[in-house]
Amino acid sequence: MRVSWNVMRWLLVLLAAATMGCHSATTRQTFDAEAAYAHVVAQCDIGFRYSGSDAGWATGDYIRAELEKQGVAVTMQVFEYAPNAQATPVRLRNVIGKIAPAEVRAAPLVILGAHYDTRRYADGDPDPQARATPVLGANDGGSGVAVLLELARVLDRDRLQNEVWLAFFDAEDQGRIGDWSWAVGASYMARHLEVRPDYVIIVDMVGDQQQEICWEHNSDAALQAHLWQIAADLGYESSFVPRVKHSIMDDHIPFIQQGLVAVDIIDLDYPYWHTTQDTPDKVAPESLRRVGHVLQTLLEERPFSAR
Ligand SMILES: [Zn+2]
């Protein structure tokens, strides 16, 4: 068989174009443990970040600034909440960063969420005197935000298979204080969604040094299995344990109530939960990195479809 040089040349050009088109030549960013941990410290430096506090509001500003630094478009969802008819309404806000994949196509939307408020009272503290003090929330609040902010930096827009929203919720953690409900911010977002996401993943309390993240009872089984398989393939099977342990009221519940597929990545076995001892020294940078690495791998290499 004879192939003319002209035809051959064209084939080579096409081959080269196809190869280059797959992945751009940019260096891949890997999820950095210390960069994520720096976000934990920075949030704790702001202060006690319970909903309605100045520090809480400043944390929303911090998140917005960090997202914009990474070129992420930010929407602020501001609303008022009154826990009962007599209470003065409190101004709350969710911060939502929107990352579009580089390739223009109908990419299904995925939401990753974390609460940024911290609990107003350390009502789990072993010392009764300390229970009137707020929680600093290095892990409970700080760790989930840190993972999402570092993902905003490292996610490769050329590799994304989904449009990704990073949602930072106000007022997850004030439940049962006065008449406050749990997951107020996530509930507001879930009820006001104009686009139906393919699935939702919540990241909460993932920074424990003795990290052991089990399946959560209310979470979607197929998506959990997929995530925990990625973790096992990355060598994190001691941190991601594929067995149901707890049933948890968290920011995933309002999305499940809207009929959506949602998973809560949470390590509830944290000795400093809702105590004054939930401080940055209790958070391990490596624990943040493992969770970030699993999520980056999901979004860039091992996409999940709930459809
Ligand atoms: Zn909490």
Going from the Cα of 16 to the center of ligand 1, the distance in angstroms, rounded, reads 52
Q: What is the pLDDT of residues 170-226, one digit of tens each?
A: 999 999 999 999 999 999 999 999 999 999 999 999 999 999 999 999 999 999 999
The environment of the single-atom ion ligand 1, i.e. residues with CB closer than 5 A, is: 140, 173
Q: What is the pLDDT of residues 138-148, one digit of tens each?
A: 999 999 999 99
3-state secondary structure (DSSP) of residue 38: helix
Going from the Cα of 141 to the center of ligand 1, the distance in angstroms, rounded, reads 7
User: Residues near 37 by Cβ (< 8 Å), separated by ≥ 6?
Assistant: 146, 280, 283, 285, 288
Q: Is residue 262 a part of any domain in this protein? A: yes
Going from the Cα of 61 to the center of ligand 1, the distance in angstroms, rounded, reads 21
pLDDT value of residue 32: 98
**What's the rounded Cα separation, in Å, for the pair 93 and 86?**
21
The parent domain of residue 225 ranges over 28-300
**What's the rounded Cα separation, in Å, for the pair 269 and 261?**
24
3-state secondary structure (DSSP) of residue 128: helix
3-state secondary structure (DSSP) of residue 145: helix
Phi and psi torsions of 262, nearest 5°: -145, 150
Q: Please determine, for residue 86, whether its predicted confidence score (pLDDT) is greater than 80.
A: yes
Total structural domains in the chain? 1
Region 166-170: what's the mean pLDDT? 98
Where residue 20 falls among pLDDT bands split at 50, 70, 90?
A: very low
In terms of DSSP bridges, do strands 262-266 and 199-204 run parallel, antiparallel, or are they unpaired?
parallel
Give all strands of the β-sheet with 90-99 in edge-to-edge order: 73-81, 90-99, 163-169, 109-115, 199-204, 262-266
Going from the Cα of 20 to the center of ligand 1, the distance in angstroms, rounded, reads 46
The least confident of 13-22, 95-104, 119-128 is 13-22
Q: Is residue 199 a part of any domain in this protein? A: yes
Q: Is residue 22 a part of any domain in this protein? A: no
Q: Please determine, for residue 101, whether its predicted confidence score (pLDDT) is greater than 60.
A: yes
Please indicate whether residue 203 or residue 16 has the higher confidence score (pLDDT).
203
Q: Is residue 20 a part of any domain in this protein? A: no
Count Cβ neighbours within 10 Å for each residue of 137-173 and write b for 16 or more, e otherwise.
bbbbbbbbbbbbbbbbbbbbeebbbbbbbbbbbbbbb
What is the rounded average pLDDT for all residues in the chain? 92
pLDDT value of residue 205: 98
Q: Is residue 5 a part of any domain in this protein? A: no
Going from the Cα of 122 to the center of ligand 1, the distance in angstroms, rounded, reads 10
Q: What CATH number should be reported for the domain holding residue 212?
A: 3.40.630.10
pLDDT value of residue 27: 72
**What's the rounded Cα separation, in Å, for the pair 243 and 75?**
36
Q: Is residue 10 a part of any domain in this protein? A: no
Of 163, 158, 160, the C-alpha closest to 25 is 158
Please indicate whether residue 4 or residue 243 has the higher confidence score (pLDDT).
243
Going from the Cα of 282 to the center of ligand 1, the distance in angstroms, rounded, reads 15
Per-residue DSSP letter, 132: G
Per-residue DSSP letter, 207: -
Q: What is the pLDDT of residues 224-251, one digit of tens each?
A: 999 999 999 999 999 999 999 999 999 9
In terms of DSSP bridges, do strands 213-216 and 199-204 run parallel, antiparallel, or are they unpaired?
unpaired
Where residue 26 falls among pLDDT bands split at 50, 70, 90?
A: low
Helices in the chain by DSSP H: which ranges? 5-22, 33-46, 54-69, 142-154, 184-191, 221-233, 253-257, 285-300
pLDDT value of residue 103: 77
